[in-house]
Amino acid sequence: MMKDVTTAIDGAEVILIFAGAGMSADSNLTTYRDKEGFYNEYPLYRDLKKNYVSMMSYQGLLENPHFAWGYFAHQYTLYSNAIPHEGYKRLLALCRSKDDYFVVTTNVDGLFKKAGFPSKNLHEVHGSLHNLQCSIPCERKTWATKGLTVEIDYSTMKALDNLPLCPQCGFVSRPNICMYGDTDESYVWEESAKNAKQFRDWKKKNKYKKILIFEVGVGEEGLKRHLSQYRQEFSNETLIRINPDCDEIKDDMQFNLRMGVKDAFIALY
Ligand SMILES: [Zn+2]
């Protein structure tokens, strides 16, 4: 099968990547739905009896910003210390060997950018923890999270210090990521909408090209549904799914590689 996969890679003119949390698992970032992922029994939150929705809701942020910021700051520390694994580098090198490429990801960890994928080729569907916005928001603006230091009391998972504030109005800021309970008013979606337009233009431009689609570490059903819609838009596409938990199905237009992401890209390119 590896030979067929290599043939598909060699023959492709352009590459489209759909990446979920499994993409960063080899950079030691937990996937949300792991047994000890944020969605389930994440050790730091297990005894607090808080579920993920309460950690990540807009309402929760307004009611208890120190608790919400405990989570954001913890996540930001994990993400800003994470190093993109070798698979990111191999994938970028492969992309650069083709006519064009584009990445769509639900990940908010910013590792694609850190690995060198440029913004113009990247759509971070849920936003990025590396950007902040005002929680009201007073302006439809974002700014870089860079240099953020917020101490956390790990027994309560609450932020200890003064929280990062909006430089414009002085109200508490928040990451520019899409949260539970967010509306078009509360979430500054303009950045993401700009990238969504780049993706639409990209699809239009490459509609008739020989396209190779990588579905990498996607556990979320929603993203899989979007992906199967996008597949209809291309006339000549092949899909390679990389996921240690996927079934080993294969047809002429689809290959499922049941392996870790890093190992897969090291084997492929
Ligand atoms: Zn503000």
Question: What's the mean pLDDT in 89-112?
Answer: 97
Mean model confidence pLDDT for the chain:
90
- What CATH number has the domain bearing residue 218? 3.40.50.1220
Does the CA dihedral 5-8-14-18 come out positive or negative?
negative
> pLDDT tens-digit profile of 12-42?
999 999 999 899 988 888 776 666 666 666 7
The domain containing residue 29 runs over which residues? 2-268
For residue 119, how far is its CA from the centre of ligand 1 (angstroms)? Answer: 25
The per-residue pLDDT for 248 is 65
For residue 3, how far is its CA from the centre of ligand 1 (angstroms)? Answer: 55
| Residue ranges with strand state E in the chain | 14-19, 100-105, 122-124, 127-134, 142-144, 152-153, 158-159, 173-177, 211-216, 237-242, 250-251, 254-257
Q: Are 258 and 243 in contact (CB under 8 A)?
A: yes
For residue 73, how far is its CA from the centre of ligand 1 (angstroms)? Answer: 19
For residue 76, how far is its CA from the centre of ligand 1 (angstroms)? Answer: 21
For residue 170, how far is its CA from the centre of ligand 1 (angstroms)? Answer: 6
Backbone angles phi, psi at 256, to 5 degrees: -110, 115
The per-residue pLDDT for 223 is 76
For residue 141, how far is its CA from the centre of ligand 1 (angstroms)? Answer: 9
> pLDDT tens-digit profile of 57-89?
999 999 999 999 999 999 999 999 999 999 999
For residue 135, how far is its CA from the centre of ligand 1 (angstroms)? Answer: 7
Number of domains in the chain: 1
DSSP 180: B
Find the range with the poorest average confidence among 36-45, 87-96, 107-116, 119-128: 36-45
| pLDDT > 90? residue 51 | no
The per-residue pLDDT for 59 is 94
The per-residue pLDDT for 245 is 83
